[in-house]
């Protein structure tokens, strides 16, 4: 009986801890990027600024995709019974889709905003190596 009553609280704690970890991690990264001494080249400054903005967008998008599931998980089951069966199915489906979409948010945003990421993904998908895409022969020395 106690275990069944504790499950929603454990799930809510897990979700809150996940969101908190995600937020704190990205905030630390953004603060470190902004507080580092300015590089000598203007292109490095622009690149760091673009990366900071990208990290902020990724953080907000990740939180927005995980937050509905967190809210859904902490609302008591009895409250959901007030909705019609069809509404319950639609809400649950939407919440699950958003939660699963959180896995796609990071790569999608990075692919849109970062050319280097797009090139790396293209190399990975096309099975090209980072160099020339060909296997280099190994010379064997006979003694």
Which string of DSSP letters, residue by residue, matches 61-123?
HHHHHHHHHHHHHHS-HHHHTTS-HHHHHHHHHHHHHHHHHHHHHHHHHHHHH-HHHHHHHHH
Task: Give the model's pLDDT for residue 95.
Answer: 92
pLDDT at 90: 93
| Contact indicator for 11, 73 with CB cutoff of 8 Å | yes
Can you tell me the mean pLDDT for 50-73? 83
d(CA 64, CA 98): 9
pLDDT at res. 43: 61
DSSP 81: T
Q: Please tell me the predicted confidence (pLDDT) of residue 1.
A: 55
Contact 56, 106 (CB under 8 A): no
Give the residue among 23, 88, 82, 31 at the shortest CA–CA distance from 58.
Answer: 23
Q: Is the pLDDT of residue 58 over 80?
A: yes
Both tokens assigned to 102: 């959180």
What is the per-residue pLDDT across 81-138, written as a single tens digit (0 to 9) for each?
888 889 889 999 999 999 889 888 888 898 888 888 788 878 878 865 555 555 555 5
Read off the pLDDT of residues 21-37 as tens digits, 9 standing for 90 and up. 877 887 887 777 677 76
pTM (two decimals): 0.59
Pick 6 or 134 by higher pLDDT: 6
Cα gap 106→13, rounded to integer Å: 23
pLDDT in tens, 64-75: 888 888 888 777
For residue 37 the two structure tokens come to: 């001494």
pLDDT at 93: 93
- Judge contact between 126 and 70, C-beta under 8 A: no
Rounded CA gap, 69 and 140, in Å?
58
* Sign, Cα dihedral of 38, 40, 46, 51: negative
The answer to whether residues 46 and 72 touch, using CB atoms and an 8 Å cutoff, is no
């Amino acid at each position: 009986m106690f275990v069944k009553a504790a499950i929603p609280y454990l799930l809510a704690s897990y979700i809150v801890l996940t969101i908190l970890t995600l937020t704190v991690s990205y905030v630390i990264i953004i603060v470190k990027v902004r507080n580092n001494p300015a590089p000598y080249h203007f292109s490095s400054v622009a690149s760091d600024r673009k990366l900071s903005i990208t990290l902020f967008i990724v953080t907000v998008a990740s939180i927005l995709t995980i937050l509905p599931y967190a809210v859904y998980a902490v609302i008591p089951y009895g409250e959901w019974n007030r909705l019609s069966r069809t509404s319950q199915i639609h809400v649950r489906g939407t919440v699950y889709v958003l939660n699963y979409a959180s896995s796609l948010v990071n790569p999608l945003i990075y692919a849109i905003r970062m050319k280097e990421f797009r090139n790396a993904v293209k190399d990975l998908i096309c099975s090209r190596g980072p160099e020339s895409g060909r296997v280099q022969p190994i010379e064997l020395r006979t003694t």
